[in-house]
Structure formats: structure tokens, C-alpha cells
Amino acid sequence: MPLKNSSSKIPVFLLIISFCLLLFNSVFLHEKINLVVSLVFTLANISIFIYFLKLSSRKSALIKSEIEHSSEQINIINVDIQKSRQLAKALKLKITRYDNLKKIIEKLNVSLKTDTVIRELTAAVYSLISDNRGIALFYLVDNQYQRLNLVYSLKDDSDLVILSKEGDIFDQWVLRHSNQLIVEDLKNDFRFDPEKTLLQDRRQIFSLISSPLVSHDSLLGLLRLESKKAGFFTQDDLRFLALVADLGSAALENSLLFHKKEELAIHDDLTGLFTKHHFVSRLKDEVKRCQRLDQYLSLMMIDIDFFKQYNDKFGHTAGDIVLKKVGLLLKSSLREVNPLLCRFGGEEFLVMLSGLNKQKALVLAEDLRGRIEKKTIILRRNETHITVSIGVASLPLDTKDDDELIQKADKAMYKAKEKGRNRVCSI
């Protein structure tokens, strides 16, 4: 600072000297301004000019530096404001998501239906994470064949068809690793080939998140969201999806166990056909429906001829084999008419045929009898054949009451027994 102050005084000092010389020359010597005085005066003015020019330049540089510094500070503040807004927005989104999570849990706790659980979980993540854009897929695991089955989907394009019903390379990755997956930009993800995914299912995928539903180390299903926009999903999205999947796993497992219990309760353990109790309940409802719509309904009562002889000759295990074979034949032979099949008791079976009149039911029964008669069954390495007696009764021709309809079909079956078995009869 002292050097700077002393250097800044030089032009002023020169100016004072030149002015004094001019004054002295003019007043005391009464002479005109000589060349030396003029030169000194000129140099002093030039020095003053240069000094003020440099001073102005320094001030401009200082002001410019201060402006740049202020701009940097403003930019930093703007960035901080932007980050704060983003954080506030993210926090608000998290609050919204977790508030809705409570509602999701409440809905899941009051439902034991698998379809309802699947729909609630899928709709929740599709709305809260994807904002109802892109595609949401829910797969269940077929433990018998260790493969995925697409059971539910939501999409913003109603015309879009999901071709990969058993999953694609992304789903297989999750199935193989039993871990969450995020693909922020498929083009930059070395784990997957974009062209291969496009060949598997003709829809464009740029970003996706997926989470398995696991309970007690058992993989139950898979919940997946995808988008046509790269970078659409974030790590926060994946964490929330994983949380929903974890909470949903317990609800899904409970619903699957409940469904399995229901299935066991209404199906015969040996043949897999409906039980008598369930069949009678369904028959009551179907009779009311057919009467309301003025439609036909027919019943077949089927009894295996000489069934006791198979048990006596080959043992009860052989009898079980015969019952299973008959059950399978009923399913395969009557598949086209969508029947309701029941093991009514012992070696008796009951078949409900909605929409079929008595004449058509008799034709169908005769065709079924012939198929069963021709079927070869191996019992203890012996080839054998079985026959059945079938009784047919129809609504409204024979009766308008469901209980009486069963009784008349049973009576017609005993009529076939009395006439020599291996035949079809009606009342």
C-alpha cells in the first residue's frame, strides 16, 4: 500500500512542478513559456492521463470480478434452491406414497382372494410409481414347472398385447437371482441386449424396475413396471416397489393358501372332480338361472359296472386307478360342452350339462359310454376294460326341481343296470 500511494503521487507532483514553473516564468521572469516548461507540463498531463486510465481499468476489472463472483454466488444459490425444491418434491412424493401404503395394507388385510390381492398390488405401484403410464405386469410362479405365468397387467395403451406370457429375459434374470432389478437405460445396460428383447416381445422398453415376491425363501411371483422413456425410474422407485412387494408377499401367500384350502374342500382327493356338496350347491344355482332364462339343463348319473369285482380281484389300489381313469375320461370326452363334473360317491359320478336338452344329452351319453368301453386299462400288468351304466334326466322336461332332477337321473341309471348294464337310459 505505501508503494502504491507513493507511485500515485508522482503525476500530481509533476503537475505541481510544471504549474509552478509556468507561474514563475510568467510572473517573475515576464517571459513566454519556454520549450522545457511546456515539455514538463505535457509529460505531467500525459502521466496524469495514463494514471487515471489505469485506475479506471483497475476499477473496471474489480467491478467485473465482483460481478462474476456475485453471479457465481447467485448460480450456487439457484442450484441450492433447485436442489431444495427437488428434495421437497421428493419428500412430498415419499409422504404421499407412504400414506397410500397404509391404505394398501388395510385393503390387503381384509381380502383373502388371490385375484383381489394381485389387482390391489399392481394398481398401487402403477399409480404411485408410474403415475399410470407405461406398463405394469404381475407374474405368479408355477412351482411345478418352475416358470412364470402372467396373471394381470395394466397399460396406458389399450391396444398393446403382451406376448411374453411366461416372462422375458428381464423376468428370467429376477427369477434366477431372486433379487430386485432396475434398468435405467436399456441402451447403456451391458447385462441385456436391446435387440433381443425387441425380438422376444414387439414392444419398446427403455427403462424398468422389477421386484420378486418372496415368502420363507419361496418365490411366489414378480411385480414389474416398465416405460418407453429412458431414465424414467430411480433407485427410490425401486426401493418403494421392493417394499410393496415385501408387504404384498405375506398377503399373497395367505390368499394362495386360502385358495388351495378352498380347492381341497370342494374337490375330491382321488379324482380331482368336484365333491358332492359343492356340486349340489352349484346345481341349485344353475337350475334357478336356467329357469329364469328359459334354458335347458341335463344331468348324467354314471355308475361303473361290477366295480366291486375290480377291488376283489386286483385290490383297492386297482379300484382307485379305475376311478382316476374314469375321471380323466369324463374330462377329456366332455371338454367341448364345458360340463360340471362330480364324484357323487363310491363309483358314481354326476355330470351337469347346462344348455343341453334331453335328446342331445342322450346322444352325448351314448358317445361317452362307447369311449369308456373301448378304453384299455392296465391293472397289475393285465389289460382290462370297464363299462358304465348312465342315466339321463333333463330340466324342464322331467322336473323343475334340482333334488328331483338328481333322483330321476339316479332312477334312470338303475334302469340301465336292470336292463343289463353298459347302456344309457332315461325316464
Return the DSSP state at 273: P
User: What sign results for the dihedral spanned by CA atoms 376, 378, 381, 385?
Assistant: negative
What pLDDT does 354 receive?
94
Q: Across-strand partners of 376?
A: 385
Q: In this predicted structure, what is the pLDDT of residue 387?
A: 95
**Which residue's C-alpha cell is 401404503?**
101
For 43-78, b where at least 16 C-beta lie within 10 A, e where not — what string?
A: ebeebeeeeeeeeeeeeeeeeeeeeeeeeeeeeeee
Question: What is the spatial distance between Cα 405 and Cα 52, in angstroms, rounded to a whole number?
Answer: 120
Closest by CA to 391, choosing from 355, 357, 366, is 366
The whole-angstrom separation of Cα 121 and Cα 107 is 10
- What's residue 190's pLDDT? 85
Distance CA 124, CA 194 (A): 28
- List pLDDT tens digits, range 78-112: 888 888 777 777 667 677 777 777 777 777 777 78
- Give residue 132's pLDDT: 92
Q: Give CA–CA dist 191/272, Å, rounded.
A: 44
CA pair distance 243, 236, nearest whole angstrom: 11
What is the C-alpha separation between 210 and 183, in angstroms, rounded? 9
How far apart (Å, rounded) are the C-alpha atoms in residues 294 and 277?
26
CA–CA gap between residue 24 and residue 303 (Å, rounded): 150
The residue type of 19 is F
Residues of the chain with pLDDT under 50: 1-4, 29-30
